[in-house]
Chain A
Amino acid sequence: MFEKIWDAHLVRESQGDTSIIYVDLHLVHEVTSPQAFEGLRLTKRGVRCPEKTFATMDHNVSTRTKDWSLVEETSRIQMDTLSKNCKEFDVTLYDFSHKNQGIVHVIGPELGITKPGTVIVCGDSHTATHGAFGSLAFGIGTSEVEHVLATQTLQQNKSKTMLINIEGNLEKGVTPKDIILYIIGQIGTAGATGYVMEYAGGAIKNLSMEGRMTICNMSIEAGGRAGMIAPDNTTFAYLKDKEFSPVGELWEQAVAYWKTLSSDEGASFDHRMDIKAEDIKPQVTWGTSPGQVTSIDGVVPDPDSFTDPVERTGARNALDYMDLKPGTPMNNITIEKAFLGSCTNGRIEDLRVAAEIVKGKKVHANVEAIVVPGSGRVRNQAQAEGLDKIFTEAGFQWRFAGCSMCLGMNDDQLKKGERCASSSNRNFEGRQGPGGRTHLMSPEMVVLAAINGKISDIREIL
């Protein structure tokens, strides 16, 4: 599938070297774009295809208020700059107050801007999310953002391919988040560096689009250039009648083409990994890298148990930062914060499954818990279904859409030493706030931890 999409986007091929590939969709946000637009101005270049460029505000936005004047000044300047740039270069912007505003990787799919078979880029590493639709989607830096704005193309080296085939049935309580954390735990955070990962097999086919997006989203945490899943009837059903999806005859033509994208029977990959779905248990991270993960019934490992000296030191540093002792069971570690949201797990389906667990329960007295929908549309949909009531009655804070505490660029941050159950994607030192300690897990386990005041095994309540 990667080869097919790559070949279909070659503008100028250089065998074994850097080629120029065409970009069908460029998503833009406030943090990684100001210097790119400034670069265009300095070199007197324009945006080649404004109609293929969509911008929103997500990283910096306040989730507490829609009052622009209450936002911290440097954040406001950055958002103002995006507004001015989009106006000057004629780019569609879903700003702060627009109904389509949200995390860039949530709004692309829900508006149908994301399409199978396309090349999608964004100045954000979690762009791999869109690969769930059978597109080649990856994150780029700001110089590359400028390059795409100016030329609608990118200079790229062809990646190697990795197939991750998962057969069998997931056990109860095991979610797409557990699948991807398990994969990262197996191959390591650099295990897929230089590769485009394709996820396939019966266990993947059975997943909803939301679940597939969760998996592709964290491909970067395994080092992957991109993650992708072949489009099928689940994909087409999701995209049908979305705001930017084709209609009528064009829809039929598009689906016919999209059906040709999946990898051919017997296609060769540079690397292949087979996983039995039954081997995957609910996962939770214990360290400061997503690969430092174990199952919920596991314990914090002893650094001395690692044979590789570099890994051993890494584990030692991580336990020191996380304030955890070797041998501590993961189940029952006390938390002070819980965060449900992000481009990994902030979609409507995530909120639905979490609300199901929360219904009739209360957030633990020692925990502050926030729910941050991935987009304005997700928020409205959740409210229409009464999910917000379930969360607020239980003591969760119900916020506006944005990246929020996934990276803490706004005022949603952990304080020094606070421990958080988080549905986000990175547990790096200081990621959710200086000195904060992050445990990554599924949205179901996040809300269960919020209720119990400690990390808990979801299987105990099923």
Chain B
Amino acid sequence: MKPFIKHSGIVAPIDRVNIDTDAIIPKQFLRKIERTGFGKHLFHEWRFLDYEGTQENPDFILNKEAYRQSSVLLTRDNFGCGSSREHAPWALADYGFLLIIAPSFADIFYNNCVKNGILLVTLPTKDIDDLFNQVEGKPNTEISADLEKQVVIAPNGREHSFEINSFAKECLLKGLDQIGWTMQFTDKIDTFETHLKTNQPWLVTS
């Protein structure tokens, strides 16, 4: 996983609540057995007019020339709700989104993004409203984020600080191999399993 330290990029505003993982990446693209190549299917049903994805919907924001290179997504409550499919962050990252800002995110989606080097920033609704006002109808507007300092810098220069759990922060900053990190505690897992066999012997399967 690539570390996330700082990022600055063009922001695409999508003013909708409850954008679910089915909308981010529809089920017909979940049949792959690889982690790569999902970006071209991101927001498929909004981005394309046909099922095959050959005709772009000119009204959808990411199809507008000024937003094609966006790497920051500004959106509304409960982004990433629904299915646990990690294909959603794979599609977002593969398209180029590294930073997503919203008033709230779904739990599983949040964890999945941390595993894929995407920083999710939660800000109060009034700040989100304010960002929408600065961004909407103004292509090529940039927002930046500094994870070390835990701040997002709005187009008007205002700094918004945000909260992040310290472990998630460390994982993102270092691009940590999280399985490797847990494996340094293998002795603790061994001890736990020994106790489990004594305390709950009915869980022991052959």
Contacts and interface: CB of A to CB of B under 8 A. Distances in A.
A59 B30 CA distance: 10
B104 A193 contact: yes
Nearest to B183: A151
A34 B203 CA distance: 27
B174 interface: no
Interface stretch (A102-110, A164-172, A245-253, A454-462): A245-253
Given A153-B182, A409-B31, 5 more contacts: A11-B192, A140-B84, A257-B200, A313-B16, A428-B82
Contact of B206 (A51, A59, A429): A51
Interface in A1-48: 11-12, 14, 17-18, 20, 22, 24, 31-32, 34-35, 38, 43, 45, 48
B178 A143 contact: yes
B30 A125 contact: no
Interface string A154-171: 010100000000000000
Given A52-B205, A115-B203, A147-B179, A409 B30 contact: yes
A223 B178 contact: no
A190 B205 contact: no
A251 B45 contact: no
Interface string A224-243: 01000000000000000000
A431 B22 contact: yes
A18 B111 CA distance: 11
Contacts of A14: 167
Interface stretch (A73-81, A173-181, A339-347, A384-392): A73-81
Contacts of A70: none
Nearest to B166: A17
Contacts of B77: 190, 310
A75 B196 contact: no
Interface of B: 15-18, 20, 22-23, 26-28, 30-35, 45, 51, 76-78, 81-86, 89, 104-108, 111-112, 115-116, 165-168, 178-179, 182-183, 185-186, 188-189, 192-193, 196, 200-203, 205-206
Given A81-B33, A157-B165, A409 B202 contact: no
B31 A310 contact: no
A329 to B, nearest CB: 25
26 contacts: A11-B192, A12-B188, A31-B30, A31-B31, A32-B85, A34-B33, A45-B179, A51-B206, A60-B31, A141-B84, A141-B85, A144-B111, A144-B112, A147-B179, A151-B179, A151-B182, A151-B189, A190-B106, A223-B107, A250-B201, A253-B202, A254-B200, A407-B83, A426-B82, A430-B45, A434-B51
A150 interface: yes
A63 interface: no
A163 B33 CA distance: 39
A62 to B, nearest CB: 13
A141 B112 contact: yes
5 nearest CB pairs, A to B: A18-B167, A246-B202, A143-B115, A141-B112, A141-B86
A379 B66 CA distance: 54
A121 to B, nearest CB: 10
Q: Which of A115, A150, A155 has the most CB of B within 10 A?
A: A155
Contacts of B188: 11-12, 20
A429 B31 contact: no
A221 to B, nearest CB: 8
Given A193-B104, A430-B45, A434-B51, A22 B112 contact: no
